[in-house]
Amino acid sequence: MSRGWTVAVIVVAVAGIVSTPAFWLMDGPDAGQLVGASVQGASGIAALVWAVLQQRSAAAASASGRVRTAVRTGAAEASEGGVASTGVRDPGGAGGGSFRADRTGNAKATGQGSKAVTGVDNS
């Protein structure tokens, strides 16, 4: 999950935790309003905890150097048995870790045995 989405989820969770239950509990709530406020508050707290854990997980993976990323790459072309890759390559899947390819460029392969990849290639 990108940092922008994590921040958005945290903001929405905090707003949900604070605003609606507080509104429902004004002016002497009945049993249904108490239950609704409790459910909404618990949902907001769960979303907040999830977002924080996702952010920490991504930060830990990034800190360990095991996240490979390709973003906004250019075009690549291969011919006569070559390989064109505009993403992330991990031949044989030996590197482990995680991969991310976002808005990669065009890859073109022409000729017998050629290969073009625009995302993650672990073959």
Residue with tokens 């625009």: 118
Q: Does this model's pTM top 0.75?
A: no
Tell me what pLDDT residue 74 has.
78
Q: Which regions in the chain score pLDDT beneath 50?
A: none
Type of residue at 120: V
Among residues 36, 14, 39, the alpha carbon closest in space to that of 24 is found at: 36
**Between vectors from CA 27 to CA 14 and to CA 45, what angle results, nearest 5°?**
20
104's tokens: 């990669």
